[in-house]
Structure 1
Amino acid sequence: MNEFSAMNTRDLLNAYKNGDTSPTEYMRWLISHVEAVEPKVCALYAFKPDEALKQAEASTTRWLNGETTGPLDGVPVTVKELIATKGDPVPQGTAATDKTPASEDAPTAARLKEDGAIIFAKTTCPDYGMLSSGLSTFHHLSRNPWDLSQNPGGSSAGAAAAGAAGFGPLHIGTDIGGSVRLPAGWTGLFGFKPTLGRIPIHPYYTGRCAGPMTRTVDDAVMVMPTITRPDWRDATSVDYQALDWDVPPANVKGMKIGLMLDAGCGIDAEPDVKAAVVTAAQQFEAAGAEIIEIPPVLKREWLDGLDVFWRARFWGTMLKLTEEHRQSILPYIFDWAKAGGDANPLDVVKGFDATMAMRDACAAVFQKVDTVLSPVNPNVSYPADWASPTNDPQRPFEHIAFTLPWNMGEQPAASINCGFSTSGMPIGLQIVRPRFDDLGVMAIAKTYESWRGPISSWPTL
């Protein structure tokens, strides 16, 4: 088979089952493709082609013998560098950290391996995962496959670049303020941030989730049953439910949909972004939904307060390092965090309390509407070597105002491509549903994807 690049997870598994191809044949193609394109996009860390091919050969034998180990047997997948895999260091994107190999798999990696998926590589992230960028002092600079001069976003930068470059069908990122959805939006992928705790993670933290970044909604559907299985290490995880993720598209007739075009603070949505999101909302309206323009859920004081809290928290982490190691941190991140050392303790506490204020505001929205639509990213793109869309450590979070609140509110939210800018860059539509209604997000995303049709112009590098 020559059209491996067009195959999603379901296609691949059907091809294995029918004998049209094998995990070995697909992995050989994938390794060749990665080796040709990776020098241009720099998406990967711990790429192990020989080990991946060995695992693919074992999977091929299992398929031939009818003894597959799980529903993803032989499917290649990447996980973000921050997701520990046994035997691999977890540098957290920075030259400053200790590079001791992880002693065990994090929950997501463990579940994938249990179901036979082949983690053939990990993907890059910026220093401490605290940038919406592919800029790192440990990894090579990750670039956006749609335009190599532009940024893929972050902090799941490598996952976004890998997905858009066609490095297999499944990529798993992490998201504490938009780090799955933002890069998915900038690279044309479907990115899903579940209800907090739906996908067990370790280490866990307020608002921190893992989630799939894929070319199609169906790819995310295929991996969710695996990565949502329980793990005792995540004390924030929700009660496990064996959900049927393969839901039909939603009937949106009569649905009350809130359209949020103003984030309340940060960068204003650029004209191309706003136009694409409005056009998407009009499609929902034409299908019978009631579109209600709603005000933002975020306030300037809450975003600034969380900034202070995160600065102080990360400065505390950096104080544990030697002076030599601190000097190797990306200057943008170092300067940003250092200001937290001078913060008034009361301001730090107020900053953490802002997470609770966001939680209240996000919950209140769904007393009026069923679903929220908004931009994911306020801007179309920005240079590859910038640390963020502002490139200013004093204004680090101006681009996350549409995405951040739903992390603190714990609602499921997704990014799905809803068009392209005049410069040819992808634009993301955010779909948000009430807490625990992850299946609702998937159903609505399927509906929109069916209207939009498949993306036929993925980058060829």
Structure 2
Amino acid sequence: MTDFSELNTRALLQAYVSGETTPSEYMNWLIERVERVEPKINALYAFKPEWAIEQAKASTERWQKNKPCGPLDGVPVTLKELIATQGDSVPLGTAASDKAPAIEDAPTAARLKEDGAIIFAKTTCPDYGMLSSGLSTFHNLSRNPWDLTQNPGGSSAGAASAGAAGLGTLHIGTDIGGSVRLPAGWTGLFGFKPTLGRIPIYPYYTGRAAGPMTRTVDDAIMVMPTITRPDWRDATSVNYEALDWNVPAADVRGMKIGLMLDAGCGIEAEPEVKTAIIEAAKRFEAEGAEIIEIEPILKREWLDGLDVFWRARFWSTMLKLTEEKRQTILPYIYEWAKTGGKADPLDVIAGFDGTLAMRDACAAVFQEVDVILSPVNPNVSYPAEWASPTNDPQKPFEHIAFTMPWNMGEQPACSINCGFSKSGIPIGLQIVAPRFEDLKVIGLAKAFENWSGKIINWPEF
């Protein structure tokens, strides 16, 4: 069987156009790869090989008639299981959830199907999507393909594992505090969190966004026109713009770029991480940008306040379950949320108000600089079996200090690989731009990818 592992999305579609290959041929290759690799990494949920083969056959017939149904016709894609697909349950990563099938597609799923993409599988997440980990009471333990003893991060854990292992070219995750960028950073992927509301999402919530997790910037570019199309269900969505996502690599000459090496609180960036980010900044400087070291924007009380608010919110959700169901929740999550039931209501409100303070701070910093560079993850890696980098439910968010503020502030941000640790784990560079300047992030990421080169030594299985 032909090896298609080197094809990105654009090349795959070009092969469909030329007849060099067909959706059926590619899908058969992908299914064989999944069956060989998946037992090692546990990335997938609701894998449907028979259905996918049927869809690929129909797509092949359309391409042979030169009548594709959309720009992604026949391209396999995975969605994080939190993104509903009609007929599939949405277990939320936990044994405690109702497993009733979804009655309709979420916006991202609907747009992908309209454009002919084949959602051949969903991807795993931890309980309620509230961990940066592949640990779940419903799914098997997801692992980092670069080192199977290590964590892929989360909560878009399966998407990260699938992308790094080459299980197709397009994977979509969700991100409320870094859940696209964090696992992308630990697995070498390009992870993009757009301006809040740029990709319609349902159910929506403060800071919650969807975004692509792909091996290259170009793969993400190929899917953005589809998943950004409007959907009335997202009351937080921004006014739709038919943006040209295929922007050229950015010219950084004269650009003021802020370098943030200290998040203000949480885990301090480890030396290997800090060195990689500084080297990346030097490359921007060599290309003509002005690098300005900037102070952190996050305050300890804001991070702790968000913790209190989220604990209380999740405990209110868990109180709707029977005691028997609650006992099936991952103990780490259960113990974390339970303390929210004892929180002072005034502290809960203050915690939410902290999100507004973060929003102000995130807007203000862009009065000084055009974009910001920072680490994505403060640490290199941690064991696959851990629930978080601290593995301590009383210190659950120490690792999101570089990423979470931009969810509350609604700015577009990405993770792009900028090197590897001595242990061989990828290190992610975060690029952040002001609200609505999504194309600036894409252009800068494309420039950096051109300078540093794409990863060519992806894990082999």
Structure 1 residue 260 and structure 2 residue 269: aligned? no
Distance apart, 1:13 and its partner CA = 0.1
Distance in 1 between residues matched to 2:354 and 2:306, nearest whole Å:
6
Query: Quick one: which amino acid aligns to residue 4 of structure 1?
Result: F
**For 1:6, what is the secondary structure of its paired residue?**
coil
Measure, in 2, the Cα distance between the counterparts of 1:356 and 1:220: 30
- Return the letter of the residue paired with 2:103: S
Matched, 1:280 2:266: no
1:324 aligns with 2:330: no
Which whole-Å CA distance do the structure 2 matches of 1:52 and 1:437 have between them? 36
Identical positions, percent:
79
Displacement of 1:67: 1.2
Offset at residue 21 of structure 1 (A)? 0.2
CA contact (8 A) 2:272 2:421 kept: yes
Matching residue of 1:24: 24
* SS of corresponding position for 1:4: coil
Residue 176 of structure 1: aligned partner: 176
Rounded Cα–Cα distance in structure 2 between residues aligned with 1:444 and 1:2 = 34
- Whole-Å Cα distance in 2 between the matches of residues 245 and 362 of structure 1? 24
Alignment of 1:121-132 (within 5 A): 121-132=121-132
CA distance in 1, matches of 2:330, 2:423: 30
Aligned position for 2:89:
89
State the partner residue of 2:293: 293
Report the TM-score when normalising by structure 2.
1.00
**CA-CA distance at 1:66 after TM superposition:** 1.2
Q: What is the count of residue pairs matched by the alignment? A: 461
Is 1:403 aligned to residue 411 of structure 2? no
Describe the superposition over 1:52-108 as per-residue Cα deviations: whole angstroms up to 9, x where unpaired.
010000000000011111000000000000000000000000000110000000000
1:179 alignment partner, SS class: coil
Question: 2:359 corresponds to which residue?
Answer: 359
Any idea what SS the aligned residue of 1:431 has?
strand
**Aligned partner of 2:451: which letter?**
W
C-alpha distance in 2 between matches for 1:327 and 1:253:
57
Matched residue type, 1:33: R
- Provide, for residues 265-298 of structure 1, a one-character-per-residue CA deviation record: whole Å limited to 9, x for no partner: 0000001100000000000000010000001110
In the alignment, is the contact (CA less than 8 A) between 2:3 and 2:29 conserved in 1? no
The 1-side partners of 2:244 and 2:18 are apart by 24
Matched, 1:205 2:205: yes
Which one-letter code corresponds to 1:17 in the other structure?
V
- Alpha-carbon shift at residue 248 of structure 1 (Å): 0.3
Deviations 1:182-213 (A, max 9, x none): 00000000000000000000000000000000
Where in structure 2 are the equivalents of 1:296-311 lying within 5 Å?
296-311=296-311
Cα drift, residue 2 of structure 1: 2.7
Quote the residue 1:384 is aligned against. Answer: 384
Give the secondary-structure state (helix, strand or coil) at the position aligned to 1:212. strand
What's the secondary structure of 2:308's corresponding residue? helix
Runs of 4+ more than 3 Å apart: none
Unmatched tracts of structure 1, length 5 or more: none
Provide, for residues 227-272 of structure 1, a one-character-per-residue CA deviation record: whole Å limited to 9, x for no partner: 0000000000000000000000000000000000000000000011
Contact conserved, 2:177 with 2:405, CA < 8 A, in 1?
Answer: yes
TM-score normalised to the size of structure 1? 1.00
How far does the alpha carbon of each residue in 1:282-331 deviate from its partner, in whole angstroms, 9 at most, with x for none?
A: 00000010000001110000000000000000000000001100000000
Residue 415 of structure 2: SS of its match in structure 1?
Answer: strand
Distance 1:2 1:304 in 2: 52
Aligned-residue RMSD, C-alpha: 0.5
Is the CA contact (8 Å cut-off) linking 2:390 and 2:398 kept in structure 1?
A: yes
Task: Provide the residue aligned with 2:430 in structure 1.
Answer: 430
* Residue matched to 2:216: 216
Please name the residue that 1:12 is paired with: 12
In structure 1, what residue type is equivalent to 2:175?
A: D
Q: Distance in 2 between matches of 1:225 and 1:120?
A: 20
User: SS at 1:67's partner residue?
Assistant: coil
Counterpart-to-counterpart distance in 2, 1:116 and 1:440 = 28
Tell me the distance in 2 between the aligned counterparts of 1:357 and 1:4: 48
